[in-house]
Amino acid sequence: MAPDPTALGAYLQARRVLRTPESAGLPGGGRRRTPGLRREELAALAGVSVNYLVRLEQGRHREPSAEVLAALARALGLNAQGRRHLFWLAGRPDPGPRIAAAREVSEPLRHLIERVAPSPAWILNRRRDILFWNTGAVALLGDLADLPDAERNQLHLTFRSPAARALWADWHLVAQDTVAQLRPILAGVPAGDDIEAMIADLVADDPDFAALWARHDVARACNPVRAVHHPEAGDLVFEAELLDAGDGDLQVVLLDPSDASSRGRWAAYVAGRGDGRLRSVARS
């Protein structure tokens, strides 16, 4: 990503205003004309000059060093996601400690996934591991709990599972979406994250993935229509929706039957299975 000094400056100003002196370990100093930290205070906490900070906030300085960005992140009390965003705005990889891909799904989010059944729904983390799913997902994708951990992954199912390839009538669009969604994920993770190793393996082993990766497509959304050749329920059409959750580290994938025929046949098929399997899986 090319550095955007204007966006970086706006982000620094916004976070400075929200950082109270008390939260930064400074005395409150009574009533203030403006909320948050003064520029002088933030500059002192980060170990930079006031003039330098002014130029950063006004978008007149490009490419601050990783050391300066790390100091500003500490002074502003940014969480892991905020720090990653700061480095991303500056066009730099975050050299800080690696942030493990999320492995936990909150109870409210689990209940949400359960309630949308029989529509298939599942939850992915940054590595694209499938952490939780509902009965609709079992009916569509098979019993995910029976898969080894390494195979309970969207990248594996899309590119290395013959059954999954046969399931999607529009497999190429599904694959294209899956690959394009990886680039925004990579923009927000530290260099050396294990998802990079997964991508390197797929580039080396799968010509279809390698060709799509070479296109450099970038997308957060997906093609809304998913045509399915289900081996038992027949031909169906779903509408796909992706929702970010868990502070952006989780993603909900929801497929909803798009027409009355698909909706009725799918509901009857899922109800007829009667397996009710709903299991959350955390990678070890």
3-state secondary structure the chain: CCCCHHHHHHHHHHHHHHCCCCCCCCCCCCCCCCCCCCHHHHHHHHCCCHHHHHHHHCCCCCCCCHHHHHHHHHHHCCCHHHHHHHHHHCCCCCCCCCCCCCCCCCHHHHHHHHHCCCCCEEEEECCCEEEEECHHHHHHHCCHHHCCHHHCEHHHHHHHCHHHHHHECCHHHHHHHHHHCHHHHHHCCCCCCHHHHHHHHHHHHCHHHHHHHHCCCCCCCCCCEEEEEECCCEEEEEEEEEEEECCCCEEEEEEEECCHHHHHHHHHHHHHHCCCCCCCCCCC
> Same domain, yes or no, for 77 and 155?
no
101: in domain? no
The confidence score (pLDDT) of residue 284 equals: 41
30 belongs to a structural domain: yes
The answer to the question of residue 65 being in a domain is yes
The per-residue pLDDT for 44 is: 95
Which of 89, 120, 152 is the C-terminal boundary of a domain? 89
The reply to whether 123 and 25 lie within a common domain is no
Which residue carries 């790390």 as its tokens?
Answer: 70
Assess whether 21 and 142 both reside in one domain.
no
pLDDT, tens digit only, all 284 positions of the chain: 556 778 999 999 999 999 989 888 888 666 777 788 999 999 999 999 999 999 999 988 878 998 999 999 999 998 877 888 898 888 887 766 555 566 778 889 999 999 999 999 999 988 899 999 999 999 999 989 999 988 999 999 999 999 989 999 999 999 999 999 888 777 656 555 678 888 999 999 999 999 999 988 878 777 889 999 999 999 999 999 998 887 667 899 999 999 999 999 999 999 988 754 545 554 44
- 241 lies in which domain range? 107-273
| 199 and 255 share one domain | yes
Cα atoms in the 13 Å half-sphere on the side-chain side of 135: 18
**Pair 195, 66 in one domain:** no
Residues 50 and 181 in one domain: no
pLDDT for 282 = 47
Model pLDDT, residue 181: 87
What pTM does this model have?
Answer: 0.68
Q: Report yes or no on 99 lying in a domain.
A: no
| pLDDT the model gives residue 276 | 47
The count of domains in the chain is 2
Q: Could you give the CA distance from residue 125 to residue 260 in angstroms, rounded to a whole number?
A: 32
* Residue 111 domain flag: yes
> 234 lies in a domain?
yes
Looking at the domain assignment, is residue 255 inside a domain? yes
Residues 240 and 170 both lie in one domain: yes
- Rounded CA-CA distance 70/84 in Å is 10
In a domain, 100, yes or no: no
Q: Domain boundary residue among 54, 89, 124? A: 89
**Confidence at residue 273, expressed as pLDDT on a 0 to 100 scale:** 82
